[in-house]
Amino acid sequence: MCSLKFHACLTIVRVGFGNAEHLVELASVMYIAYLLQHKGYGTQPVERFHEAEDAMECVNRRGLETGTWRLDDAAYPRFAELLTLHDRQLADAPAHVIITAEDELMRFIGSTTPSPLPPPPG
């Protein structure tokens, strides 16, 4: 996984020049970051991932309706935070752990499960 690609996607979506592909890339990195954290590489509260997932759903809905795929200013810091986490994970996690997380993401994508995140509390 190339971290620079994800940072570029975030910038593109932030300024409103994104498309569905950019959103898919951001979703992938968000979920990989969660899966790596679940394996011991990170300490972000799971709520941060839920907030990012909710923001992504809003961007997707708005993009499908209007053709504009833009992440609002309130959601941007959440994604920037998760990308910073993922940068650290890529530096710290052994390759086999990253590959395992990528395999888990592929299984999720091929499933009917709505999210690899645990359900929100409450």
| Cβ atoms of residues 1 and 30 within 8 Å | no
Whether 1 has a pLDDT exceeding 90, the answer reads no
Q: Output the pTM of the full model.
A: 0.92
Mean pLDDT of 87-106: 97
Mean pLDDT of 68-90: 93
Mean pLDDT of 15-19: 92
Mean pLDDT of 82-87: 95
Whether 2 has a pLDDT exceeding 70, the answer reads no
Measure the CA–CA gap between 34 and 41, rounded to whole angstroms: 9
For residue range 31-72, list pLDDT tens digits in order.
999 999 999 999 999 999 999 999 999 999 999 999 999 998
First to last CA, the chain: 34
**Structure tokens of 90?**
């890529």
Domain extents in the chain? 3-109
Mean pLDDT of 60-86: 93
| pLDDT at residue number 121 | 81
Whether 73 has a pLDDT exceeding 80, the answer reads yes
Scored b (16 or more CB within 10 A) or e, 39-73 reads eebbebeeebbbbbbebbeebeeebeeeeebbbee
| pLDDT at residue number 122 | 73
Separation of CA 3 from chain center? 12
